[in-house]
A and B are shown apart, each in its own frame.
Chain A
């Protein structure tokens, strides 16, 4: 590890922060192409309506306007879905068309109706007001139960609002286990819908070069190669060699920037038609009604137990909101990223889950930080907390009694996954000690003396990330492989550029990945550049989501570095006149074993590019290697989150007093970055539990359409977090890494709500929906004990 520690395990300061913190990032909206024009998208103000006519005449002749297009003009493919789920009867899911500009009907508030392209953004917006749309209003279905009852059809051509009806497990076998159980605990769970709100709104710049017939799209994406594939192959029929997609600096994604969005296709398609580059930038209001939303499940669950509180069987029925159209990965979120996680950290032998995915007249729903695993964790950890109460066991005893033991790995769950490693007792023990659970009772009394209620809540969770083995996901309906690729290009003077198919939009890859290179090649940070986000530079990539960048993208880099070292050894052997098998590589130096003959990494690099005496039939010049890595399994981070809240029974205000997270994220490359990722995840998890909730009214209008009503977490909503790690190494990748990007958001919501319920249990409050806003808590208190709330 050179430079006093910049290799694996060092808390290296983030190299990218210099440009971010000084305002010098290069985001999509910072990109201005010569002769650029501006697009404004006119969106539906109705949740459900026929488009009887769209009259663009006046807009087309407005000042500065170059073109106005509607769905009738845009004869392209629809936005594709990347995952096909089959219903339990074997039939494929319904996959209704998703035109980039609505055709015939609009299906949610925000559905794009027309695009105006003008010399300036203001002119485009002015002209959009002149478009006369004749909407034929239709009744909207907003609630999933109304949609299932068929009150109105979102897509007439499929004749139902049920996208699929999927199951995992053997229902008959499960029902038998329930019939024999000592006790059954049941729970109704709603996982509230969230609006992602990345700091940088989406943007896209489309450009067409008439002389080469090449298209370029600059876009706010977590996976530019995936956008190139989806948009090029399915929507616009542009072959890869004629389409460049660049995702420059991106200001947060949280999943919402994975998907291929209409606006990307619109600006790329329109660029040759107006003969000039086109920029579209979303404003915050439009982001609320056009970025894919997250979560939105309604579930019923029950757990069968024996007399000792051992879990015998779990049965879950879930309705998952898809919104109006299938977003890129939407179908896999409530199935393969959710139901397969329902074993959690417990050895429950039998699990059955049925999932009904439902279309409604709302913004499409897709993966959002955690994607399926937060929904599974919330359901399971709320249910386990309730099981403990009903069995008269402590919150920790019931968990310890059901943990998969540390010596049981690899562990095959009844819901398809095989866990490779973990030690759930150890994370719980450490979390209890870090949190000072022993001091809770004294703190509770102290709160009570001030008229406040204090409660403590646990979540011992597990998640699956590092997605994913291509063979496995292919068999489950993925229409893509989920490997990652990397190229390690050693330059003649010994500096290195790493091209990665992962994409960094806040995660700090430019630092973490460089640390891998420091460690493996023995180079200083200053000699390493991490390049990502441009399909013309990076050979291929599946992008960043599902906490996969290090476990999959990092492994690809390791593999490419292995190839570099092997090739460099050949070169060193040739020059040092030794046999290749005698060359050792350590700390950046190639040495002939047992001698003092050696070459520095830089000397070998130079020799590779100045091959004056190479035997060219045996040894090629150059030092530049590529690798694709396809993981052997998912990785399984897990851990224990403990939350302590204080509730003001007079007002219903909940304040988080302590939040402890002890996570097993596998090997830690940069502890500072890991802690930062966990802090961010906790903020989002606590946000979901206490603050954030998307609300539609009965007509499908978004009530929480701005920060006046959608409650984004702020720093003063949180205490100082205690985040620690307790590590077991991933057993199937070379780095032993698991992933840390989502654990905070996955593990924390049930810990928070369990704490609120604990605080109010004696007052008769035994359930609490998210977000536990002051009004929600007050109403629950009032319903439980009118005398207390009226006081």
Chain B
């Protein structure tokens, strides 16, 4: 780890100011992704702005049909939240399946969404549920937020404040784990809302999380696993590594999507 200056502001405004005043600053939330990167000397920020002291970034609120989760809310808190469990059980289950207890007790939704790891779980939930990512400056719909591998619509120095999820009628997430890292090798989130059915896939895409329009339209007319049994995502658009070839990922997407549909609740 290289040396850096450390800040722990107590408001969003101070955090954004500290970040923009730094030569090459970065926010740190749970540190589960950032700290290993620093330890391996793969990043050398001049300043770390710790968001842990900002009270307004913590917590979960449900109002009407919307569940809003503060950026600094940990995966563990989401998994254990009675509100989330009753409003969007699939989201609570997803959070409970991230990493291990240590990671869940430190890692945050803001950090996960900002990082947009192509194998992370939350991006699939955001896309399928039609979440809105609220920053210190604006609100961005999920479909416009995740722009590529580790790439998002966030501007330099822009901070995620919260993520809002509209309550679906039914939703389910099926994750096929990478046996080594236990991130998603393929994760499929299916949600049925008044507006129709959305299917989002993480872990597999060459450009990160993506939706599967063919499955969505098939499911809109027939919400059953059979409806998508013959729908496969083109392997040419998927990534390949020692754990799964693109062909295997394509196969798993269909299997996991069918299982998610069967598990909708």
- Chain A residues within 8 Å of B, Cβ to Cβ: 122, 125-126, 285, 650-651, 691, 695, 703-704, 707-712, 773-775, 778-779, 789-790
28 CB-based A-B contacts, threshold 8 Å = A122-B1, A125-B41, A285-B40, A650-B255, A651-B176, A651-B252, A651-B255, A691-B180, A703-B242, A704-B180, A707-B180, A707-B181, A708-B181, A709-B180, A709-B181, A709-B242, A711-B179, A711-B180, A773-B179, A773-B243, A774-B179, A775-B244, A775-B245, A775-B248, A778-B248, A779-B245, A789-B251, A790-B251
Residues of chain A within 8 A of B252, CB atoms compared: 651
8 A Cβ contacts from B141-181 to A: 176, 179-181
Q: Which of A691, A695, A703, A779 contacts B179 (CB 8 A)?
A: A691
Chain B: minimal CB distance from A8 (Å): 41
CA–CA, A691 to B243, complex, Å?
11
- Across the interface, name the chain B residue whose C-beta is closest to A778: B248
| Complex Cα gap A779–B240 (Å) | 14
How many angstroms from the CA of A710 to the CA of B180 in the assembled complex? 6
Instruction: Give Cα A773 to B181, complex, Å.
Output: 13
On chain B, the residues within 8 Å of A790 by CB distance are 251
Interface residues of B (CB under 8 A from A): 1-2, 40-41, 176, 179-181, 242-245, 248, 251-252, 255
Residues in A neighbouring B181, C-beta threshold 8 A: 707-709
Q: Which residues of B contact A707 (CB under 8 A)?
A: 180-181
- Provide the bound-state CA to CA distance between A695 and B241, in Å: 11
CB distance from B4 to the nearest CB of A (A): 13
A711 partner residues in chain B, CB cutoff 8 A: 179-180
- In angstroms, Cα B39 to Cα A285, docked, is 11
In the bound complex, residues from chain A placing their C-beta under 8 Å from that of B180 are: 691, 704, 707-712
A775 touches B255 (CB 8 A): no
Nearest to B2 among chain A residues (CB) is A126
Known contacts A709-B181, A773-B243; can you find 6 more A-B pairs with CB under 8 A? A125-B41, A704-B180, A711-B179, A775-B245, A775-B248, A779-B248
**B41: A residues at CB distance < 8 A:** 125
Query: What is the CA–CA distance of A314 and B252 in the complex, to the nearest angstrom?
Result: 42
Report Cα–Cα, A23/B180, bound state, in Å.
27
Nearest-CB residue, chain A, relative to B119: A708
Residue in chain B with minimal CB distance to A651: B255
Q: B248 contacts which chain A residues (CB < 8 A)?
A: 775, 778-779
Interface pair B243/A775, CB less than 8 Å apart: yes
Among B1, B180, B243, the most chain A Cβ lie within 10 Å of the Cβ of: B180
| A789: chain B residues within 8 A (beta carbon) | 251
Q: Contact: A695 with B242, CB < 8 Å?
A: yes
CA–CA, A708 and B176, complex, Å: 15
B-chain residues with CB within 8 Å of residue A773 when the two chains form the complex? 179, 243
CB neighbours (8 Å) of B242 from chain A are 695, 703-704, 709
A651 surroundings in chain B (CB, below 8 A): 176, 252, 255
The list of the 3 closest CB pairs from A to B, nearest first, reads: A711-B180, A708-B181, A711-B179
Once the chains bind, are B243 and A709 in contact (CB under 8 Å)? yes
Bound-state CA distance A122–B40 (Å) is 12
Contact between chains at B251 and A778 (CB < 8 Å)? yes
Give the distance to chain B from A126, nearest Cβ to Cβ, in Å. 8
Chain A residues near B2 (CB-CB < 8 A) = 126
A485 to chain B, nearest CB (A): 43
Assembly CA distance A773 to B248 (angstroms) = 12
Complex formed: what's the CA distance from A707 to B99 in Å? 13
Closest chain-A Cβ to B97's Cβ sits at a distance in Å of 12
Chain B contacts of A125 at CB under 8 A? Answer: 41
Least distance between A98 CB and chain B CB atoms (Å) = 29
Q: Which residues of A contact B179 (CB under 8 A)?
A: 691, 711, 773-774
User: Could you tell me the distance between the alpha carbons of A774 and B178 in the complex, rounded to whole angstroms?
Assistant: 9
A547 to B238, CA, bound (A): 47
Distance, CA A695 to CA B40, complexed state (A)? 21
- Smallest distance from the beta carbon of A371 to chain B beta carbons, Å? 25
Residues of B within 8 A of A703 (CB): 242
- A707 to B103 CA separation, bound complex (whole angstroms): 15
In the bound assembly, the distance between CA atoms of A703 and B251 in angstroms comes to 24
Nearest residue, chain A, Cβ from B241: A709
Separation in Å of the B229 CB from the closest CB of chain A? 8
B28 to chain A, nearest CB (A): 19
B187 to chain A minimum Cβ distance, whole angstroms, is 13
- In whole angstroms, what is the CA distance A102 to B2 when docked? 28
Complex Cα spacing A285 to B251, Å: 33
A604 to chain B, nearest CB (A): 55
A650 proximity list for chain B (CB < 8 A): 255
User: Inside 8 A of B40's CB, which chain A residues have their CB?
Assistant: 285
Closest beta carbon of chain A to B160's beta carbon, Å: 25
Cα separation A691 to B182 with both chains bound (whole Å): 12
Cα–Cα, bound, A712→B100 (Å): 14
For the complex, what is the distance from the CA of A691 to the CA of B179, rounded to whole Å?
Answer: 7
> With the chains together, A790 CA to B232 CA distance in Å?
10
In the complex, A650→B2 CA distance in Å?
A: 47
Residue of A285, A651, A707 contacting most chain B CB atoms (<10 Å):
A651
